[in-house]
Amino acid sequence: SADDVPLEIYLNPKIVHYAPSQELDWEGCLSIPGYRGLVPRASEIKIEALDRDGNTVSKTIRGFHARIVQHEVDHIQGRFYVDRMPDLKSWTHVDEFNKIYRSRIQS
């Protein structure tokens, strides 16, 4: 969950390793407001970046935190989450998501 993700700053992040295992989960984006879709992402990644002081950071990230970093690195590379969706059948407006899918996720 978002509560488990620390506030960190990564400058010029590069993903140098993707774990072969993937997790399929819902994503949305302020660049495409009001929509959600199922997106596969590596469950674990290793990044290299600079911190706010210019020091090199090398870090392995897992779970939801890894999903967020992959999402944001995609933006740096000119991609959106819909570009990662293998099937657009799950792409839905947030109102429909809340009616149909949210109840399935919470049960």
The residues carrying an active-site annotation are: 72
Residue 84 backbone dihedrals phi, psi, to 5 degrees: -95, -10
Residue type, 85: M
Neighbours of 19 (CB within 10 A): 15
Are the beta carbons of 44 and 19 closer than 8 angstroms?
yes
48 forms beta bridges with 14, 58
Q: Does residue 43 come out as left (phi exceeding 0), alpha (psi in the -120 to 50 range) or beta? A: alpha
